[in-house]
């Protein structure tokens, strides 16, 4: 295996990146890290997870330096680091964060590979390890014929859940990280990427959790009370601070996408159809969505047929849905797994002719067809094999499995879909790494 030089920037707020760095270091690679905020520094030192269970996830022997300057000085700093450390691979989460956009451009100018990770397109215990970025930046093909050829011989997606993230742990680490970044020193010039002020956002989330039981009961009663024979459409909301909305869609916020959907539903959906708008589980509660959606529906004359639902599981709604509208949420992929018609209003990885509705929102309410089953299966097998590993960010066993698989993937090389020929230029080239990686069934699981 060729010796490489990895540079880690910000990752998930968990021991995942420290453990991955330590694993690559133990395998003989050079590994480096830049901290851009106090949360980064504390995370890298393991200050958020004391205790025996997390002892093996510390990045022993991995150098880390702090960048304490202005964002305008960041480019020169990262370029120097890339050159001095002869960096071959840049590893990060959130390819649209301001620091990361600059670092990615600098890395690519030097010919270094960029590995972007995040929660999986497939949920729940899948992790993306993808070249350059996600959604609009993904190199995964959108041509149906290429996808079908690319997936030939690949195993079916294993939908057994092996790893369960622990939400209280995730919440605790997230709070510690972002509250630490409120400190002025020793990173006085750090520029965060969050849209909402940290403390009000946490208070809003906490209040939603307090009301969760009552909210869920109301949502279940509302859905149960809808006519069973009436068309039922679902809009899956996303968090506005997610770069999937900010960078990979035409919408500045969720209000705009919702308003467009409600108006289209009013003018073009069957008169007996209902539309349920599902709030994202981690919505920070900074906007009163019940009142906002009610005003939109009232203005469009469909206040009795448009409903907000919250704190309710996605799968039961998908089972009942006639069709699903989203911007580019991974809920769209889950809907495709259910065989439901889907329209993606933004740039989504799964926006593929034959899988999603491509004739506009107005026609979706009456003319949407179910996705092509063979194409959907090929798409899932393709992204599962080429873009994912199994594991998680917020449980010890999930981190251990994910780190081992991600290290294998980084060593073997990420799939390079730029080598694929055009659809009319002959058969597609298989882009799997030379070593066969069984990322569908984690090691040690029969």
What pLDDT shows up at residue 255? Answer: 97
- The C-alpha atoms of residue 407 and residue 254 are separated, in whole angstroms, by 36
What pLDDT shows up at residue 35? Answer: 98
Nearest residue to 275 via CA among 294, 251, 252: 294
**Which stretches does DSSP call E strand in 36-104?**
63-66, 89-93
β-strand 113-119 against 126-131: which pairing, if any? antiparallel
Q: Go through 310-346 and write b for each residue having 16 or more CB atoms within 10 A of its CB, e for each that does not.
A: bbbebeebbeebbbbbbbbbbbbbbbbbbebbbbbbb
What pLDDT shows up at residue 436? Answer: 32
Domains (range + CATH), the chain: 5-168+384-419 (3.40.50), 216-378 (3.40.50.2000)
What pLDDT shows up at residue 440? Answer: 37
What pLDDT shows up at residue 417? Answer: 84
Nearest residue to 350 via CA among 141, 119, 118: 141
Positions of the chain with pLDDT lower than 50, given as ranges? 422-446
What pLDDT shows up at residue 61? Answer: 79
Global pTM exceeds 0.85? yes
Q: What average pLDDT is seen over the chain?
A: 91
Residue in the structure block whose two tokens are 């698989």? 405
Backbone angles phi, psi at 255, to 5 degrees: -55, -45
- The C-alpha atoms of residue 150 and residue 153 are separated, in whole angstroms, by 9
What pLDDT shows up at residue 419? Answer: 64
What pLDDT shows up at residue 6? Answer: 98
What pLDDT shows up at residue 421? Answer: 56
């Amino acid at each position: 295996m060729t010796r490489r030089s990895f540079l880690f920037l910000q990752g998930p707020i968990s021991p995942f990146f420290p453990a991955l760095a330590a694993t690559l270091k133990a395998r003989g690679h050079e590994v480096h890290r830049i901290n851009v905020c106090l949360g980064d520094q504390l995370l890298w030192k393991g200050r958020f997870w004391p205790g025996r269970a997390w002892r093996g996830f510390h990045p022993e022997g991995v150098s880390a330096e702090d960048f304490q300057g202005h964002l305008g000085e960041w480019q020169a700093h990262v370029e120097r680091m890339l050159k001095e450390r002869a960096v071959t691979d840049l590893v990060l989460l959130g390819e649209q964060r301001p620091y990361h956009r600059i670092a990615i451009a600098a890395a690519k100018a030097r010919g270094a590979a960029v590995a972007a990770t995040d929660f999986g397109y497939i949920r729940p215990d899948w992790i993306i390890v993808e070249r350059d970025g996600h959604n609009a930046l993904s190199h995964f093909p959108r041509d149906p014929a290429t996808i079908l050829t690319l997936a030939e011989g690949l195993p079916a997606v294993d939908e057994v859940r092996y790893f369960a993230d622990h939400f209280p742990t995730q919440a605790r680490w997230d709070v510690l990280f972002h509250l630490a970044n409120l400190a002025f020193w020793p990173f006085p010039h750090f520029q965060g990427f969050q849209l909402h002020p940290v403390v009000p956002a946490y208070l809003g989330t906490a209040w939603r959790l307090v009301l969760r039981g009552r909210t869920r009961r109301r949502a279940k009663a509302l859905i149960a009370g809808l006519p069973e024979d009436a068309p039922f459409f679902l809009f899956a909301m996303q968090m506005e601070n997610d770069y999937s909305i900010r960078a990979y869609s035409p919408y500045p916020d969720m209000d705009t996408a919702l308003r467009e959907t409600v108006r289209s539903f009013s003018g073009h959906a069957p008169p007996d159809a209902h539309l349920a708008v599902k709030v994202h589980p981690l919505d920070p509660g900074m906007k009163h969505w019940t009142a906002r959606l009610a005003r939109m529906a009232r203005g469009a004359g469909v206040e009795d047929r448009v409903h907000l639902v919250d704190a309710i599981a996605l799968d039961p709604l998908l089972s009942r849905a006639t069709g699903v509208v989203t911007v580019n949420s991974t809920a769209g992929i889950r809907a495709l797994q259910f065989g439901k018609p889907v329209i993606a209003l933004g740039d989504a990885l799964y926006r593929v002719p034959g899988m999603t509705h491509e004739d506009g929102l107005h026609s979706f309410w009456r003319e949407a067809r179910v996705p092509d089953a063979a194409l959907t299966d090929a798409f899932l097998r393709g992204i599962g094999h080429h873009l994912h590993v199994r594991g998680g960010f917020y449980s010890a066993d999930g981190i251990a499995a994910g780190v081992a698989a991600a290290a294998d993937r980084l060593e073997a090389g990420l799939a390079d879909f730029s080598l694929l020929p055009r659809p009319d230029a002959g058969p597609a080239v298989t882009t799997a790494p030379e070593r066969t990686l069984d990322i569908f069934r984690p090691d040690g699981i029969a």
